[in-house]
């Protein structure tokens, strides 16, 4: 009777604490299940829905165990930071390491293109002028060349395959700092880190300047949020706050005092702040010469931090803007001379931006449509949850709300070739994750009171919140697994396709051209500028018949047909199965000869008829 009385007195929190003794076992089991899952995955059986079609029950069970363990650990009386960190890393391995482990070569043709840019700088010591827009911002590629040379590698292709996991793990430190400095609360901060990874379907972590510059973006944001805190303003500690009072307080945003950074405070010494400003200045210079969009995202984010009392020095914003504009004007003139419309043509065309970013992507086969629609739903769910969190949480400043919304203003100026919305969601992701976590575990005290009154879940709050946290993480993780790998049927490459490309590079002479139907080949990492690459579907042609006519009228010296292009044609373009074989048979009768073949790729050579 004494034991049961003691147990009853401990209450439902005791349930969570007892369960958390098992979380170490759950973590170990989840890690083992991942190893089993990747060993059993057969890449050759990949279907139209991509990576998820080759993942067995072990993967999903392991992911569920990670989510459950995370939820239990999160609601322990005393947080075990080490175990939460381990679970976060394991979550990242599941979401970003599985594709690298299962797929034979690095995915995404763009990563191979960027390896080619790095290779060119490694060999020649400078970028190739007038070749591509990205080469006008060569900072990231130069950094890649330095790393490749340092590592004693021949080229950057060895970095490609595991780069997504490596760069996502590098995001962990700044994201943790952002979360802890955001004022969201300890438990909500950890949940937010989990949501940050589990909702990151955006796939901008392949070998690219965006991935590296996103790290710089997170580091700058983390440094600013860690250094400065908002000064508290006078507010009654209890009682209802009228909407008029809230509106009156929000007008302080536009005062000179606020924009001068005087509404912030810091515990750092002046030396530390100066050192920080110096390093952030260097970092913003690196960002300005490495990426077209990130500097402007930084300007917007820092401006939000300033007006929400989280940045003490407004000069930093001006310096970032100056560097970005100066590089665009001076260093990237190769890009915009004669192409100003590409930079400024979409200014104000917000409808067009949404059209090219959303509407134009909702095409293709039913499986592809489903993937695109689920991406839209996942993003809407994240921001919906963030909206609830914004209403439920008390705070010392509305920085998170500003950081979640402000990146959308970038779309007003640039649709970024139809990828603007993707990048906007990426930049808003840390803040949106924190707000989404606040929907589950809102902070109850702060200078700014919650809009929606708090409600108590009752004495079973901890178990309920543990279940809610695990459910949110699992739902996002499963959806991200589906949509992130949803294009893998045509965006990943077999060893045969890699061999076909290597064959062509070994035999193509300077001045010759390498043709492909769609840009889904691991091409470009060698012979940049020496051999022309010819993507037939990039022009006005849109059917296999039109491709045939173009290839006969304007032959490519070499033509590579492959499994990934075949899959693209069926899934996205809606061509009938076997369209590529039919095209090959027609081409063989019109001057093209098969010179090499693998089960998943064929190389044809054009010989001028006598």
Binding interface with another protein (CB under 8 A)? 261, 270, 273-274, 277, 281, 313, 315-316, 318-319, 322-323, 325-326, 328-330, 333, 336-340
DSSP state of 560: E
**Residue owning tokens 């400095």:** 181
Token pair belonging to 102:
């299962």
**Nearer residue to another protein within complex by CB, 102 or 276:** 276
Based on CB atoms, which residue is closest to another protein, 315 or 373?
315
Nearer to another protein, 51 or 311 (CB): 311
Q: In angstroms, give the least distance from the CB of 213 to another protein.
A: 20
Of the two residues 327 and 558, which places its CB atom closer to another protein in the complex? Answer: 327
- In the sheet that holds 532-535, the strands lie side by side as 532-535, 513-516, 558-562, 601-606, 592-598
Question: What does the alpha-carbon distance between residue 307 and residue 397 come to, in Å, rounded to a whole number?
Answer: 10
Residue 175 structure tokens? 């994201």
Closest to another protein by CB, 270 or 366:
270
Name which of 5 and 337 has its Cβ closer to another protein.
337
CA distance 200 to 204: 9
Using the minimum distance from each CB to another protein, give the nearer residue, 281 or 499: 281
Report the residue number, 326 or 582, with the smaller CB distance to another protein: 326
**Closer to another protein at the Cβ: 167 or 328?**
328
Residues 227, 272: Cα–Cα separation, whole Å: 9
CB of 311 to another protein, least distance (A): 12
Nearest distance in Å: CB 338, another protein:
7
Alpha-carbon distance of 534 to 538, in angstroms, equals 9
CA 492-214-326 angle, to 5 degrees, is 120
- How near is the Cβ of 176 to another protein at its closest, in Å? 26
Instruction: Give how far the C-alpha of residue 53 lies from the chain's centroid of Cα atoms, to the nearest Å.
Output: 22
Among candidates 596, 536, 544, which has minimal Cα distance to 575?
Answer: 544
- The distance of closest approach from Cβ of residue 329 to another protein in the complex, given in angstroms and rounded to an integer, is 5
Q: Tell the smallest beta-carbon distance from residue 277 to another protein (Å).
A: 6
HSE-up of residue 245 (Cα within 13 Å, Cβ side): 12
Taking the least distance from each CB to another protein, the nearer of 70 and 323 is 323
| Distance from C-alpha of 182 to C-alpha of 358, rounded to nearest angstrom | 31
Judged by beta carbon, residue 18 or residue 339, the one nearer another protein is 339
Q: Which two tokens stand for residue 496?
A: 């045969």
Of the candidates 353, 224, 235, the residue with the CA atom closest to the CA atom of residue 293: 353
Residue 342 or 373 with smaller CB distance to another protein: 342
As given in the structure block, the two tokens for residue 144 are: 């890649």
Q: Among residues 74, 132, 179, which one has the least CA distance to residue 461? A: 74
For 165, other C-beta atoms within 10 Å of its C-beta total 20
Residue among 233 and 344 whose Cβ is closer to another protein: 344
Q: How far is the CB of 318 from another protein (least distance, A)?
A: 6
Q: How far is the CB of 285 from another protein (least distance, A)?
A: 10
Q: Residue 89's CB: how many other CB atoms inside 10 A?
A: 17
Name which of 172, 212, 176, 160 is nearest 90 in CA terms: 172
> Closest approach of Cβ 315 to another protein, in Å?
4
Of 315, 212, 226, nearest to 267 by C-alpha is 226
User: Least distance to another protein from the beta carbon of 336, Å?
Assistant: 6
- Residue labelled with tokens 């969009």: 293
Of 375, 371, 372, 388, which is closest to residue 468 (Cα–Cα)?
388
Q: How far apart are CA 83 and CA 211, in angstroms?
A: 27
Q: How far is the CB of 334 from another protein (least distance, A)?
A: 11
Calpha distance 293→301 (Å, rounded): 13
Please, what is the minimum distance in Å from the beta carbon of residue 396 to another protein? 22
For the bound state, the minimum distance from the C-beta of residue 262 to another protein, rounded and expressed in Å, comes to 9
b/e code 359-391 from CB counts within 10 Å (16+ = b): eebeebeebbebbbebbeebbebbbebbbbbbe
Q: In this structure, are residues 387 and 403 in contact, taking their beta carbons and an 8 Å threshold?
A: no
């Amino acid at each position: 009777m004494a034991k049961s009385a003691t147990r009853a007195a401990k209450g439902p929190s005791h349930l969570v604490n007892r369960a958390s003794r098992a979380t170490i076992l759950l973590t170990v089991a989840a890690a083992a299940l991942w190893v089993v899952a990747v060993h059993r995955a057969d890449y050759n059986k990949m279907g139209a829905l991509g990576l998820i079609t080759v993942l067995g029950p072990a993967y999903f069970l392991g992911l569920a165990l990670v989510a459950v363990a995370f939820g239990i650990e999160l609601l322990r009386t005393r947080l075990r930071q080490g175990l939460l960190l381990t679970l976060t890393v394991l979550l990242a391995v599941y979401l970003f390491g599985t594709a690298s482990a299962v797929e034979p070569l690095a995915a995404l043709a763009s990563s191979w293109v960027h390896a080619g840019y790095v290779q060119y700088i490694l060999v020649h010591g400078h970028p190739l002028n007038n070749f591509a827009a990205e080469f006008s911002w060569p900072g990231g590629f130069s950094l890649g060349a330095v790393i490749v040379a340092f590592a004693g590698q021949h080229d950057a292709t060895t970095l490609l395959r595991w780069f997504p996991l490596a760069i996502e793990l590098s995001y962990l430190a700044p994201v943790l700092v952002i979360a802890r400095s955001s004022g969201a609360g300890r438990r909500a901060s950890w949940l937010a880190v989990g949501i940050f990874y589990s909702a990151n379907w955006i796939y901008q972590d392949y070998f690219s300047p965006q991935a590296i510059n996103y790290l710089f973006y997170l580091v700058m944001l983390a440094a600013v949020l860690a250094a400065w805190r908002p000064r508290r303003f006078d507010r009654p500690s209890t009682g209802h706050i009228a909407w008029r009072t809230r509106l009156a307080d929000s007008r302080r945003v536009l005062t000179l005092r606020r924009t001068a950074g005087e509404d912030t405070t810091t515990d750092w010494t002046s030396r530390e702040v100066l050192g920080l400003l110096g390093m952030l200045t260097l970092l913003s210079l690196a960002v300005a010469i490495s990426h077209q969009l990130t500097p402007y995202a930084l300007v917007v984010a820092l401006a939000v931090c300033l007006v929400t009392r989280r940045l003490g020095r407004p000069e930093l914003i001006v310096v970032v803007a100056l560097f970005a504009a100066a590089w665009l004007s001076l260093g990237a003139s190769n890009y915009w001379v004669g192409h100003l419309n590409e930079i400024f043509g979409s200014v104000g065309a917000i409808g067009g931006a949404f059209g090219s970013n959303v509407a134009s992507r909702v095409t293709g086969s039913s499986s592809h449509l489903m993937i695109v629609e689920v991406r839209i739903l996942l993003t809407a769910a994240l921001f919906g949850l963030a909206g609830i969190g914004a209403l439920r949480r008390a705070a010392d400043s509305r920085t998170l709300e500003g950081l979640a919304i402000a990146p959308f203003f970038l779309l007003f100026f640039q649709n970024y070739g139809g990828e603007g919305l993707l990048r906007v969601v990426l930049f808003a992701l840390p803040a949106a994750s924190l707000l989404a976590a606040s929907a589950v575990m809102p902070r109850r005290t702060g200078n700014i009171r919650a809009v929606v009154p708090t409600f108590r879940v009752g004495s079973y709050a901890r178990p309920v919140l543990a279940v809610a946290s695990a459910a949110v993480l699992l739902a996002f993780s499963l959806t991200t697994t589906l949509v992130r790998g949803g294009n893998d049927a045509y965006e990943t490459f077999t060893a045969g396709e890699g061999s076909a490309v290597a064959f062509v590079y070994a035999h193509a002479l300077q001045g010759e051209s390498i043709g492909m139907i769609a840009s889904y080949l691991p091409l470009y990492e060698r012979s940049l500028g020496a051999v022309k690459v010819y993507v037939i579907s990039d022009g006005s042609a849109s059917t296999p018949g039109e491709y045939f006519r173009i290839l006969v009228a304007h032959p490519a010296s070499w033509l590579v047909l492959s499994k990934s292009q075949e899959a693209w044609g069926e899934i996205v373009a809606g061509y009938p199965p076997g369209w590529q074989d039919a095209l090959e048979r027609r081409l063989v009768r019109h001057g093209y000869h098969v010179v090499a073949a693998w089960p998943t790729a064929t190389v044809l050579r054009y010989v001028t008829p006598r």
